[in-house]
Amino acid sequence: MNAETEQLHRPGKMRLHTKILLGLLAGATAGVVTNLITGGGASTAEFIRLVTEPVGKMWLAGLIMVVIPLIVSTLALGVAGLGDIRRLGRIGLVTVLGFLGLTTLSTALGLFMVNTINPGEGLSPEVTSRLMETYRGEVEGAMGLSQGVFNIDILVKIVPRNPVAAMANGDMLAVIFFTLMIGVALTLIPREKAKPMVGFLESVASITTAIIAVIMKLAPIGVFCLIFSVTARFGFDLMLNLLKYVLTVVGSLLIFQVVGYPLILKFVAGLNPMEFFRKARVVMLTAFSTSSSNATLPTTLRVAQDELGIPREVAGFVLPLGATMNMNGTALFEGATVLFLAQVFGVDLSLGSQLIVVLMSVVTAIGVAGVPGGSIPLLMMVLTMVGVPMEGIAIILGVDRILDMCRTVLNVSGDMVTSTIVHRFAWKGGPAPDAPAGD
């Protein structure tokens, strides 16, 4: 990791965030120009299908490929490094309070904005039915992934009967649970028995970090292809119909990012927000271009430790958990979208129902997979709960990718903000002297 950091900072060499930004701008410009010239026609669609989409997807898959070993190694080492269960309890409590606090605040902001702006009123019925028709197939696909209703099984599945199957299926909450158990067990067994496993996990963490460093070198190409694929075939006319909704969601996300987080950083974490965001640039750019908290996790971990000075034990605990469980932007988007669709369908949501929307957005965001569009199946579940037709999701699917890019920036920023809060309030006295991971 240090070798990578050194390389990234070598004078005269372009820094990684600059390269990613260039890839992003070039991809967006090329995509928009292509869209304007060809109107997103058949040849453009073929080019995207055969060239930019596969390249972008392969790059993204390369990052996601190492997420399970990265989460297992960093989280287990993080917990083991805390040394005893009381410290874990304190850090765990502040982490969960941070996650829940930030998510509730962001969701409330989203609901407040939609209640004030009313983007769902005035959307013409022709536009609504045309969109529902166009995206019918995709909705049916997402229905298969949605559980339909929120039930107790979701909770039961957090404890995996078969951890290997959980890893194979990408059941992140179950993987996290199993990993936490390994971390805790490492602190309970004699030091010499823990040592080989800790060594193994450290080796896995180093190997994944080395792989990520190689993949991130290709970031400008991957980002170019991902952004080109979105913008070249994006229905900008669709965006015009939904402009009020898109601006409400993006505006709310922006307010939370540039006002909410800085206030929390300054008054809760005691940090200079400008400095924080300057150091976190590469993380935000990666989140924006990949739309995936999981794909961004390696970069988030590196920046938190190397740039923000968060101890490995804290970063290794808070960030892997956050990439799965803490989705401030997603919860804001879910709350705002449920209310918007309720307005479109003329479903009057009472204050009580809106509180249920806040609660369910916060709870379901915990289970959202940190991948592009991960929230859609859970959003459908919340819609059903408050009596808004879940097929209505079709109305926003066409603009979802752009919203996804923006909300993912909040998701990962919220993880880093929480890690600074945990660092300040729960990390007392450095690593435990007898922690097995401290070797």
Residues that bind ligand ASP (CB under 6 A): 291-293, 327, 330, 368, 370-375, 404, 407-408, 411
CA 398 to chain centre: 20
Distance of closest approach, residue 267 Cβ to ligand ASP, in angstroms: 26
**HSE-CB of 243 using CA atoms within 13 angstroms:** 4
Cα distance between residue 160 and residue 401, in whole Å: 31
Is the Cβ of residue 361 or residue 420 nearer to ligand ASP in the bound state? 361
Which residue, 252 or 411, has its beta carbon nearer to ligand ASP? 411
Residue of 317, 316, 321, 313 lying closest to 293 (CA atoms): 321
Question: Length of the chain, please?
Answer: 439
CA atoms lying within 13 Å on the CB side of residue 370: 35
Smallest distance from the beta carbon of 53 to ligand ASP, in angstroms? 17
Positive or negative: CA dihedral 160, 164, 170, 175: positive
CA dist 344 and 245 (Å) reads 11
**Closest separation between CB of residue 278 and ligand ASP, Å?**
22
Q: Which is nearer to ligand ASP, 198 or 416 (CB)?
A: 416
Nearer to ligand ASP, 88 or 102 (CB): 102
Tokens of 157: 């599945």
Q: Rounded to an integer, what distance in angstroms lies between the CA atom of residue 411 and that of residue 289?
A: 13
Taking the complex as a whole, how short is the minimal distance between the CB of residue 21 and ligand ASP, in angstroms? Answer: 20
- To the nearest whole angstrom, how small is the minimum distance from the Cβ of residue 376 to ligand ASP? 7
What angle (nearest 5°) sits at the alpha carbon of residue 356, between those of residues 350 and 358? 105
89 neighbors 184 (Cβ within 8 angstroms):
no
Q: For the residues of 281-346, what is the DSSP string, one character each?
A: HHHHHHHHHH--HHHHHHHHHHHHHHTS---HHHHHHHHHHHHHH--HHHHHHHHHHHHHHHHHTT
Nearer residue to ligand ASP within complex by CB, 410 or 435: 410
Q: Which is nearer to ligand ASP, 45 or 402 (CB)?
A: 402
- Smallest gap from residue 373 Cβ to ligand ASP (A): 5
CB atoms within 10 A of CB 62: 17
Nearer to ligand ASP, 286 or 420 (CB): 286
- Nearest distance, CB of residue 354 and ligand ASP, angstroms: 20
Q: Which is nearer to ligand ASP, 368 or 380 (CB)?
A: 368
Minimum separation from the CB atom of position 403 to ligand ASP (A):
8
Dihedral sign, Cα of residue 107, residue 110, residue 115, residue 120: negative
